[in-house]
Structure 1
Amino acid sequence: MFDMGGTLEDLYSCEDNLRRTAQGLYRILAKHGVAVPYGETELWERVYPQILAYKAEAEVTLMELKPEQLWPDYGFRGIEVDREKLAACSEEIAHMWEVTYFDRTLRRRAAQMLQGLKELGLYVAVVSNTASVFQVFSTLEEYGVRQYFDDVTLSSVVGYRKPHPCIFKIALCQGRLRPEECAFVGDTVSRDVVGPRKMGYGRVFKIGSFLTPIKDIGVYQGYAPDYEIEDIYDVYTILKREKELHASGAR
């Protein structure tokens, strides 16, 4: 099982991403006839801090709202706007935000790694924290790797954020899997090592990303990955070797 952003994907964000996200937000509102009493810059100065506050709260509660709840209730809290029209375009806003706030590219050799895992006969899935219901699916399609995945579990769909045990349990139930027979690959200790370790996953991999130093603020004693890797393709080579060793030991 894989995390998405920062793991299967390389991520990057800077001031230009924020500017383009503000423009995208204003453009979607205009497209759907959602009138707001502010210009683009002033609207962003009001909405952005409220979204950051929601993100901070969600990091504590480990609960995720649907887009049609998030944007009217948090992003546009205190702003006079047609709530019904806003809710109707909230998924479009969430999708735009995910692909604009961060520059995203599929990691080098990720496609070859995924193909290798499927050739080994392994079950492959994504477990991701995201505010959009459909963005991960469409991004996997755009990368040309959707066919390698047996399942996709998203916080925006199930309502729980990593490292909440329920999002991992749902992913396991959907694959009818036992945790000890699974491996998890992620870029943060706080979400992608702590959660799988608590659930008893058999193997945990960690790969560094732009998000790693941002999300891993704190000490996580007792939670360490089995493997720290720099190349995502190493997931395939390590699991292939382990499978071969297991097969030879069973003879």
Structure 2
Amino acid sequence: MNTDIRYIFLDLGGTFRVIDKDPAYLATARAKIAELCGVKTEDPTRWFEDVIDKRYDVYREWALKYMCEAPEEVLWRRWLAYDCDPELIRRNASELCYQYRQTKGRRTVVEGGADTVKELCRRGYTLGIISDLVGRREVDEWLDQDGLRPYFQTVQQSSVTYIRKPGPAIYYYAMEEVGAEPENCCYVGDNLNRDIIGAKAVDFGMTVTVQYQKDKPLKLTAENRPDAKVYRFPDLLDIFPKRGQVAVEKLIPPEDGQ
């Protein structure tokens, strides 16, 4: 582990943002998906679960295998709605991706997340986002709505790069945009087999995993073992006191099965 950390890159889902699965919110998004696909059904939720969700499972298997994200139109015309009017799907592909994300829940910044990011920037760290997700619209809208765009000097999305973690290239894009060397970078994420493996593959100086559920054991291997873990997002402030520094004594080391 390198303690000369100047750049901190964040995962989004499960790390910086968490999901509220409000049933009414999910149902509205699923009904909108059916409408956008031109599907008439009395039970949009059942149709979504039986058709779109199952097709997405097949797509996800392909995406993970090749560490690739399909363009919006390709995702829907090839994988999710190939039996619907292709011209309708082409016109609605962007909105379909946006609504698909909403079918999984309402995403909000984790408690203390915004203040932590602002303080890390005040301490001199350069921050960025490296995230896997479908659709190009959602993250840009969220950053503007929450007033967080000024705090992230690079935003790398698999929906834009077409590369998913742990593919090394998406990390390289982030480093290139901010002028960083890998040994001065830390990645913070919740998924050991994507977030941590990818960061270690490009020789990041440090990796941190968030474990919001303390009773959920980590399945650690030599390849996915992070340098530290935190139980609350604001705990990052204990670890990073000033640009170019790491408070090693504050680290909670990951342990086998914990």
Task: Name the TM-score, length of structure 2 as normaliser.
Answer: 0.81
Q: Deviations over 1:69-105 (max 9, x none)?
A: 101110012x1x3212211211111112213312322
Structure 1 residue 226: deviation in Å? 1.2
| Aligned CA-pair RMSD | 2.7
What residue number does 1:168 align with?
171
Q: Deviations over 1:172-206 (max 9, x none)?
A: 11112111111111011011110001111111110
Structure 2 residue corresponding to 1:197, chosen from 176, 195, 200: 200
1:89 aligned counterpart, secondary structure: helix
Name the CA shift for 1:238/1:56 in 2 (closer, same or farther; >3 Å).
Answer: same
Structure 1 residue 141: deviation in Å? 2.4
d(CA) in 2 for partners of 1:105, 1:244:
29
Name the CA shift for 1:42/1:226 in 2 (closer, same or farther; >3 Å).
Answer: closer
- Structure 2 runs not aligned, ≥5 long: 1-8, 248-258
What residue number does 2:64 align with?
59
Structure 1 residue 232: deviation in Å? 0.9
What residue number does 1:224 align with?
225
Name the CA shift for 1:51/1:171 in 2 (closer, same or farther; >3 Å).
Answer: same
1:24 maps to 2:29: no
d(CA) in 2 for partners of 1:162, 1:139:
21
1:208 maps to 2:201: no
1:238 maps to 2:239: yes
Letter of the structure 2 residue corresponding to residue 47 of structure 1: I
Structure 1 residue corresponding to 2:157, chosen from 154, 157, 161: 154
**Conserved? CA contact 1:188–1:208, under 8 Å:** no
Structure 2 residue corresponding to 1:111, chosen from 114, 118, 140: 114
d(CA) in 1 for partners of 2:186, 2:148:
19
**What percent identity do the matched residue pairs reach?**
23
- Structure 1 runs not aligned, ≥5 long: 247-251
Corresponding residue pairs, total = 236
What residue number does 2:253 align with?
none
What residue number does 1:49 align with?
54
Name the CA shift for 1:245/1:165 in 2 (closer, same or farther; >3 Å).
Answer: closer
Structure 1 residue 131: deviation in Å? 0.5
Structure 1 residue 113: deviation in Å? 0.9
Bigger RCO (CA 8 Å, 6+ sep): 2
d(CA) in 2 for partners of 1:16, 1:164:
36
Higher helix proportion, which one?
1
**Conserved? CA contact 1:129–1:155, under 8 Å:** yes
